[in-house]
């Protein structure tokens, strides 16, 4: 068996946020970047919920950032399947 994972060169969201200078208003570090992060995370959580899962450990350390600034949710060790209520 072989597991192949995408390389996330920018590290986790915590590292990414710490690497940004507070007053750096360059094009890549505007509020639009933070809104983009929020959209990616919300989209991922919506997808998980739609598939019947809850993450239970969502934190900046569990959000990975790719070179293109796309965020992806990781570390599903605490996740659980939601019970069907039908």
- Residues known to be catalytic: 57
- Bridge partners of residue 54, in order along the sequence: 80
Could you give the C-alpha distances from 21 to 17, 30, 36, 40, in angstroms and in order? 9, 11, 18, 22
């Amino acid at each position: 068996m072989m597991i192949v994972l995408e390389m996330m060169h920018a590290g986790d969201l915590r590292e990414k946020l710490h690497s940004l200078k507070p007053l750096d208003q360059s094009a890549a570090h505007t509020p639009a970047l933070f809104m983009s992060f929020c959209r990616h995370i919300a989209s991922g959580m919506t997808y998980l919920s739609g598939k019947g899962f809850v993450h239970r450990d969502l934190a900046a350390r569990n959000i990975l950032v790719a070179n293109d600034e796309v965020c992806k949710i990781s570390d599903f060790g605490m996740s659980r399947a939601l019970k069907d209520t039908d």
